[in-house]
Amino acid sequence: MNTKTEILATAADLLQKQSMNGFSLQDVADRVGIRKPSLFHHYRNKEALVSDVIETSINAFRARVDALQDQPPARQLEAFFSVYLGNIGAGSRLCPVGGILGDWDHLPQQLQQRARRLLDLQQQWLERIAMTGGYAGNESDAREWAEEILLNVQGALVLGRVRHSPLPLERAVARLRQRLARQQ
């Protein structure tokens, strides 16, 4: 792993576990094993680093969606759930956007826009799943359906983080699966 990739991975981990104000560039440098001034070779400040973490998440999400585009809608939905259940680390971490929410009003506009883009991409994917999977009959219903899925998983992720338990997310996903199975 090259230094920039290691910096990004470390910053993502700290962001999702400790939030944006919960870590410093010195923390990143210490974990990566470099001097803090070396970080400035890659990033001018913490906001730029976090912005790149969000952009990396966007790119990874897009790659996941592209890889699943030929799969049935139910399989795509399961892949969405697996991002939250497995990749994020329910009970110990938040999604990258969740890691910056406490600082939202003080963030540079570019960072806010990237965070919105990540959530918008997730919602748009869910809307497509709703339409192609028959979970919604029109675009308005698809938008509401997708928003409800996001609200459930994001809210459960936050509750799980507060309680240090993956159970809220696991239960929320199980309830969603049950409800969706009844709709089919």
Specify the length of the chain in residues. 184
Retrieve residue 103's tokens: 């600082």
Task: Give the model's confidence band at 183: pLDDT under 50 very low, under 70 low, under 90 confident, else very high.
Answer: confident
Residues 139/131, Cβ–Cβ less than 8 Å: yes
CA distance 17 to 153: 17
Retrieve residue 62's tokens: 């897009």
Retrieve residue 158's tokens: 């936050």
pLDDT of residue 181: 86
pLDDT of residue 54: 95
Q: What string of DSSP letters covers 155-171?
A: HHHHHHHHHT-SHHHHH
The answer to which of 90-99, 112-121, 151-160, 165-174 has the lowest mean pLDDT is: 90-99
Domains of the chain: 3-183 (1.10.357.10)
pLDDT of residue 114: 94
Task: Give the model's confidence band at 170: pLDDT under 50 very low, under 70 low, under 90 confident, else very high.
Answer: very high
pLDDT of 87 over the 90 cut: no
Task: Give the model's confidence band at 180: pLDDT under 50 very low, under 70 low, under 90 confident, else very high.
Answer: confident
Residues 118/96, Cβ–Cβ less than 8 Å: yes
Please give the DSSP secondary-structure letter assigned to residue 87: I
pTM recorded for the entire structure: 0.90
| CA distances from residue 138 to 52, 66, 108, 142, 144 in whole angstroms, order as listed | 35, 23, 36, 6, 10
pLDDT of 55 over the 90 cut: yes
CA distance 17 to 167: 17
pLDDT tens digits, 25-38: 999 999 999 999 99
Retrieve residue 148's tokens: 């409800």
